[in-house]
Chains A and B, each alone.
Chain A
């Protein structure tokens, strides 16, 4: 159908239908129409390949990274050790009570997402979302086995044959393998990866490992292979939320109809007839590459994940036509509206692309192009500020946090005990936390309780004022401590004092404000 007389022979004309086009939105209960995205080539596609390799690489390889923590802690760089309630991340080790670090990271992830979205639209969706990355991966497999768009359509329409069966079976088999590998990689974050791999292969792993692999296999296979764009369009909340994140200064993938319309498949002929034509030759290249099955020329649509593949497709067409790239481009709504106003004389006429061009064919000065400064506006700076603030707070908390802690629980019943010589004794449950993967001797002493001495169950040392307590690496030690104060030294029925825990080797120190109870009416 390409018209060799009106445009270069290599601008292919696609007979394509945007199955999810805005003007033809299907009722929800209608069966899904298949989409056969054509392979795109260009800057954005290359960038997406890199992102895909990076993200998949991080996901699959991270559990296999090693990090030496000495003999008392696992050497896996990233490990969520649920059984021992520890989370290891390279040089950071988090105990459950420090979970706020994870909460803080999630807050940062949220603000990061807001920041990115208000600046460059749904970049998360288009480039790094696991759904996008895995669908891309599944499409690579599909193309390798069934061919590109046209062959796939043909195969889909063909009657069942051995060949078709073989192709379909091998495609689904490889998809399933990828899905198993996806679920398989996930579990390695929760146990020593090499050990667990052997266990999984020999059938010795815990049932939960197999269940996790099975569940993630099913979700990966069905979300990435079978449901694809429907996940984004129907299931994911983010497309709905992003509407609140975008403003007229956010970059979104835009069809610049102010230079593209009126579109014409026979531009030269139309021009010869004196008609005004835009840059769009209506080749549908942008439609066939779209993984979401939409036509970007219908304007911004909820379905568009801004994968920018249509930009690549159209840029190639523009190159062949000798036109400027960017008929489809990342553009802001304000630029777009300005240029539309130019092309339509402020909305009074239909689009007249000659308005946006000078006599020599270049763009007129009245056309605005993207200016990167617009990224730095109050809103994005605010997001950046909050993001950085949370980050700095976390960093500070990380650097300042204690690796030695003492927690104290006063006995509730009895509150105090009177001893035979009249001395008063209080009981405490003292917890010493050694939060480094080294065994330590922690010195426990009292401060601020005159004449007081203590005795500790299970520690073979006579009544005294300071105890040397060995604590295992990366462990908590619970002690029953009895503090005794001579009757003559008791100054009130509620005396405040400190338990002090100290590592004399490193100088680390922590204290806990505790209360010593005595009967009322004592002298």
Chain B
């Protein structure tokens, strides 16, 4: 049954029949341009759902006849980026590290690439700012256990430290002096080592500690305790401590040294990335 038409007296236009407090709503038709746009959007929407993935099915969705997928388009862009990077990667593999540092374009690419690789592979131990942690060296400073020029840094990155799977890895092991020296001697030598850095220490211990040091430690750490890069023996006279710098901590390290391990990255990341990492670490301010 058709309900009867309500016509507004003043405008002569049909009303919707809805009424609020005596106010009725005119049932004016939509403007035609609006209506056509509306129809056009419907046509567009249908076309879109045919061309692009749209309709959900039970386990998947329609794929659309254009075969578009956002995953594929990301993969596509990644492939394109890799293609651009390939050129640089190849040059970095071929060039010596000195030449990479000297070439502004290569160096910038290597620093940026190394920074990205660092964030994925290195921050777990060295920290996001490469500032290190007890047992994990700070890479920003100017103290290098295994050397701070670009080739030495690369050597460390590429082959690691005390890493089983690499024949070229750095290797050194400080003996456990807890088995060799008595506890008084350890206390003395610890006091001596602390005094080297200019910190106040008990002079009664420092004096005999020096002799203990010369007898036992100078062979690796050097007479002046400046360390030896060849053996990975840290400089003990500077302000930087791999573990901690208090007398008790030093005594602990002398008695039963800890030995950190760093993996060799060349095999895992390839030559280009390993070189980029070295250039990046070298750029952090301590590179020599």
Residues of A within 8 A of B (CB): 27-29, 411-414, 417-422, 425, 427, 455, 457-458, 480, 482
Whether the pair B31, A28 counts as a contact (CB closer than 8 A) is yes
B:111-149 near A, CB below 8 Å: 127-131, 138, 140-143
Measured between C-beta atoms, what is the minimum distance from A430 to chain B in Å?
A: 14
Measured between C-beta atoms, what is the minimum distance from A439 to chain B in Å?
A: 17
Top 4 A-B pairs, shortest CB-CB distance: A413-B129, A420-B238, A414-B131, A422-B239
Whether the pair B285, A421 counts as a contact (CB closer than 8 A) is no
Whether the pair B32, A420 counts as a contact (CB closer than 8 A) is no
Measured between C-beta atoms, what is the minimum distance from A318 to chain B in Å?
A: 39
| A425 to B129 Cα, complex, angstroms | 14
Whether the pair A457, B240 counts as a contact (CB closer than 8 A) is no
Whether the pair B283, A420 counts as a contact (CB closer than 8 A) is no
Which chain A positions have C-beta within 8 A of B131? Answer: 413-414, 417
Least CB separation from A230: chain B residue: B33
Least CB separation from B31: chain A residue: A28
Q: Given A28-B31, A414-B131, A418-B240, A458 and B143 touching (CB < 8 A)? A: no
Which chain B positions have C-beta within 8 A of A420? Answer: 141-143, 235, 238-240
B:21-37 near A, CB below 8 Å: 28-32
| A420 to B144 Cα, complex, angstroms | 10
Which chain A positions have C-beta within 8 A of B143? Answer: 419-420
B107 located at the interface, meaning its Cβ lies under 8 Å from any Cβ of chain A in the complex: yes
Measured between C-beta atoms, what is the minimum distance from A371 to chain B in Å?
A: 42
Which chain B positions have C-beta within 8 A of A427? Answer: 140, 285
| A457 to B284 Cα, complex, angstroms | 9
Choice from B30, B104, B283 contacting A29 with Cβ under 8 Å: B30
Whether the pair B283, A419 counts as a contact (CB closer than 8 A) is no
Least CB separation from A417: chain B residue: B140
| A231 to B129 Cα, complex, angstroms | 59
Measured between C-beta atoms, what is the minimum distance from A216 to chain B in Å?
A: 20
Q: What would be 11 A-B contacts, judged by CB atoms less than 8 Å apart?
A: A29-B28, A29-B31, A413-B127, A417-B285, A419-B142, A420-B142, A420-B240, A422-B198, A422-B239, A425-B140, A458-B107
| A411 to B131 Cα, complex, angstroms | 12
Choice from B129, B198, B239 contacting A419 with Cβ under 8 Å: B239
Least CB separation from B30: chain A residue: A29
Please report whether the interface of chain A is mostly helix, strand, loop or mixed according to DSSP.
Answer: loop
Measured between C-beta atoms, what is the minimum distance from B221 to chain A in Å?
A: 14
| A348 to B198 Cα, complex, angstroms | 108
Choice from B29, B129, B138, B283 contacting A457 with Cβ under 8 Å: B283
Residue with the greatest number of chain B CB neighbours at <10 A, chosen from A28, A412, A413, A420: A420
Whether the pair B32, A418 counts as a contact (CB closer than 8 A) is no
| A27 to B31 Cα, complex, angstroms | 9
Which chain A positions have C-beta within 8 A of B283? Answer: 457, 480
Q: Can you add 16 more A-B contacts, CB < 8 Å, to A417-B138, A421-B239? A: A28-B28, A29-B28, A29-B29, A29-B32, A411-B129, A412-B129, A413-B127, A413-B128, A413-B129, A414-B130, A417-B141, A419-B142, A420-B141, A420-B142, A420-B235, A427-B285
Whether the pair A482, B285 counts as a contact (CB closer than 8 A) is yes
| A141 to B29 Cα, complex, angstroms | 36
Which chain A positions have C-beta within 8 A of B286? Answer: 417
| A420 to B283 Cα, complex, angstroms | 17
| A411 to B283 Cα, complex, angstroms | 14
Which chain A positions have C-beta within 8 A of B127? Answer: 413
Residue with the greatest number of chain A CB neighbours at <10 A, chosen from B32, B131, B240, B285: B285
Which chain A positions have C-beta within 8 A of B138? Answer: 414, 417
Which chain A positions have C-beta within 8 A of B198? Answer: 422
Least CB separation from B11: chain A residue: A27
Which chain A positions have C-beta within 8 A of B13? Answer: 27
Choice from B28, B31, B107, B285 contacting A425 with Cβ under 8 Å: B285
Which chain B positions have C-beta within 8 A of A422? Answer: 198, 238-239
Measured between C-beta atoms, what is the minimum distance from A307 to chain B in Å?
A: 25
Which chain B positions have C-beta within 8 A of A455? Answer: 285
| A441 to B127 Cα, complex, angstroms | 37
Whether the pair B28, A27 counts as a contact (CB closer than 8 A) is yes
Which chain A positions have C-beta within 8 A of B235? Answer: 420
Whether the pair B238, A421 counts as a contact (CB closer than 8 A) is yes
Whether the pair B107, A419 counts as a contact (CB closer than 8 A) is no
Which chain B positions have C-beta within 8 A of A414? Answer: 129-131, 138, 140
